[in-house]
Amino acid sequence: MFTGKLIFSQVMEYLPLRTFHQCVRRYQGEYKVKAFSCLDQYLCMAFAQLTYRESLRDIEACLRAQSGKLYHMGIRGPISRNTLANANMVRDWRIYAELAQALIAIARKLYEHDEFGLELENTVYALDATTIDLCLSLFPWANFRKTKGAIKLHTLLDLRGNIPALIHISDGKLHEVNTLDFLPLEAGAIYIMDRGYLDFTRLHAITRQAAFFVIRAKSNLKCRRIYSHPSDRENGLICDQSVALTGFYQAKSYPDQLRRVKYHHEETDKILIFLTNNFSIPALTVAEIYRKRWQVELFFKWIKQNLRIKSFYGNTENAVKTQIWIAVSVYVLVAIMKKDLKIKASLYTMLQILSVGIFERTPLLQAVMQIGYNKHPAEIPNQLTLFD
């Protein structure tokens, strides 16, 4: 019988504690704290994410029921819903945001050579935002509409491994296009966006940084054809053109040439028009790249279904952001564990297994991969036999 570490402790071994304590010191997370440390707070919230706890009372009841195992989980402080609620409300959410970013940097290095369905050497990102509805009377800071509150998760998803390279949390009023103002641009990378991000001044900034974009064109786009490249109507490629913008303000905002690709999507019988500043890749690859943008939609759907980011344990802005960033860090932590242990099971399967076996002392790889083992102890040759 294995009597080693709890599964929860084995998962948390992937947490970079040195980086975590640096983040805590940077934002004075434990100023005047006597018992319940930031690490205790993180471990309690990570436990809630992994086991799908519904409320602070739920977290408190479950952890107190396993009080004999708390020390082995790494939790040293007393468990109380009031203490946890106060920690979420007061301690700076940027501690956990920077921790999540550090984990993302680790995960991206592990997944940088993964395939994502296209033979491209470029790093490909999908940019989009999702809205999480909130009750305006409970979350008055989350402005969206007159009678409705919301927050937005602006996410830049690295398609190699589906790891979020950037997450920005804002109120519901911030328009998606403003994300381009603080987008970290990487030379040679390709950024996929929908029509909500069509702003030629901001797109030209991407071009000046030697990066590429693929975006849907709007129906009122005004341009003139400069050159027509060969088309392939049998495969859905209607036209591939080099164009210049003719609208007065559009031409001033983007004075360079653009590539206009018109594509017929056979399954939906729709005509799609794409704009890009990349003239070197095949036109059909442009359409395939844009189709990969759907991965960010699947990512949003996945985290809403599998992480606790739709209902919150606190009503303040700090508590909400703390919970979201800890949820993201847990997602990335499991992704790192998956890659390190070379587990073929999906993240969904891994989270489901972890949720029911968090207090077990089974080896982590054995628990996740469901590898059988011999439950009978091996015979000791020098042990005397009592009965023949």
- Is residue 378 pLDDT above 50, yes or no? no
Q: Domain check: are 288 and 346 in the same one? A: no
The verdict on residue 129 lying in a domain is no
Q: Does 253 fall in a domain?
A: yes
Which residues lie across from 177 on neighbouring strands? none
- Do residues 268 and 327 both lie within one domain? no
**C-alpha angle 5/6/7, rounded to 5°?**
115
Residue 199 lies in a domain: yes
Nearest Cα neighbor of 298 from 341, 348, 335, 263 is: 348
The residues pairing with 291 across neighbouring beta strands, listed in sequence order, are none
What is the token pair recorded at 347?
């993240």
Does residue 288 form part of some domain? yes
| pLDDT over 80 at 1, yes or no | no
C-alpha span between 107 and 112 (Å, rounded): 8
The DSSP call for residue 233 is G
User: Which residue, 292, 307, 330, sits at the end of a domain?
Assistant: 292
SS3 260: strand
Do 201 and 253 belong together in one domain?
Answer: yes
Asked if residue 63 and residue 17 are part of one domain, the reply reads: yes
More confident residue, 321 or 33: 321
H helices present in 237-281, as ranges: 248-253
Q: How many domains does the chain have?
A: 2
**Phi, psi (5° rounding) for residue 266?**
-70, -40
| DSSP codes, 137-179 | TT-TTSEEETTEEEEEEEEEEETTTTEEEEEEEEETTS-GGGG
- Picking from 292, 323, 350, the residue at the C-terminal end of a domain is 292
For residue 231, being part of any structural domain is answered with yes
The answer to whether residues 284 and 320 belong to one domain is no
* Cα separation values, 186 from 127, 207, 208, 216, 326, Å: 14, 11, 11, 21, 26
Give 382's pLDDT tier (boundaries 50, 70, 90): low
**Together in a domain, 22 and 77:** yes
- Domain assignment present for 114: no
pTM equals 0.87
Residues 273 and 324 in one domain: no
Tell me the per-residue pLDDT of 237-264, one tens digit each, with 9 for 90 and over.
Answer: 999 999 999 988 999 999 999 999 999 9
Beta bridge partners of residue 62, listed in sequence order: none
Measured in whole angstroms, the distance separating CA 283 from the mean position of its chain's CA atoms is 30
> Comparing C-alpha atoms, which of 371, 316, 318 is closest to residue 342?
371
Q: List the structure tokens of 109.
A: 């290095």
pLDDT above 60: residue 376: no
Q: How long a stretch of residues is the chain?
A: 388
- Give the other-Cβ count within 10 Å of 111's Cβ: 19
Q: Are residues 255 and 200 in the same domain?
A: yes
For 287-322, how does the pLDDT look when each residue is reduced to its tens digit (9 = 90+)? Answer: 999 999 999 999 999 998 888 888 899 999 999 999
Q: Among the residues of the chain, which ranges form H helices?
A: 7-12, 17-26, 38-51, 56-65, 70-73, 81-90, 94-111, 200-208, 248-253, 283-291, 294-306, 317-340, 347-356, 364-369
Task: For residues 69 and 58, give the distance between their C-alpha atoms in angstroms, rounded to a whole number.
Answer: 17
Check whether residue 240 and residue 320 sit in a common domain: no
Q: Give the tens place of pLDDT for each residue, 150-163.
A: 999 999 999 988 89
In which residue are the tokens 């050497």 written? Answer: 121
269 inside domain: yes
For the record, the structure tokens of 304 come out as: 């809403």
3-state secondary structure 170-182: EECCCCHHHHHHC
Residues 258 and 208 reside in one and the same domain: yes
Task: Kindly state whether residue 229 falls inside one of the protein's structural domains.
Answer: yes
List, for residues 90-130, the tens digit of each pLDDT value.
999 999 999 999 999 999 999 988 888 888 888 999 999 99
Give the SS3 label for residue 15: coil
- Which residue range(s) make up the domain with 272? 195-292
